[in-house]
């Protein structure tokens, strides 16, 4: 998890990401999202919507092992984050490589 958080911190510094349900969907719709990360405790219906949209756009979707609060903290936010989209292909590839099955 520490390596994952370190890579995520690099993405945050690069500012090539969007947080939140609406912004993530917008990034997927515009096909700028290269990777979607969903907090583990996100509402089941919301999680299914995100995964379905990502699959239809052939975007990898990962479920973050932590909570929305922890994902928010990892993003440097003081609020809960249900999901985020990473738009940098290199960063998405690095994060994906850290997770089996990506």
> 1-38, pLDDT tens digit by residue?
577 778 888 888 888 999 999 999 999 999 999 999 99
Question: 73 lies in which domain range?
Answer: 2-98
Among 95, 96, 98, which Cα is nearest to 11's?
A: 95
- The DSSP output letter for 44 is H
- In the sheet where 60-64 sits, what is the strand order? 17-19, 83-86, 35-39, 60-64
Residue scoring higher pLDDT (75 or 23):
23
Mean pLDDT of the chain: 90
CATH of the domain at 22: 3.30.1330.30
Q: How many domains does the chain have?
A: 1
Q: What integer pLDDT is reported at residue 22 of this predicted model?
A: 96
Residues 38-62 have pLDDT tens digits of: 999 999 999 999 999 999 999 999 9
pTM greater than 0.85 (yes/no)? yes
């Amino acid at each position: 998890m520490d390596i994952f958080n370190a890579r995520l911190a690099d993405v945050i510094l690069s500012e090539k990401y969007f947080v939140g349900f609406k912004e993530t969907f917008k990034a997927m719709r515009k096909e700028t999202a290269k990777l979607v990360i969903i907090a583990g405790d996100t509402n089941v219906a919301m999680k299914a919507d995100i995964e379905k949209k990502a699959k239809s756009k052939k975007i990898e979707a990962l479920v973050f092992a932590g909570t929305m609060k922890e994902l928010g903290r990892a993003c440097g936010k003081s609020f809960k984050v249900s999901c985020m989209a990473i738009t940098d292909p290199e960063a998405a590839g690095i994060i994906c490589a850290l997770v089996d099955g990506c």
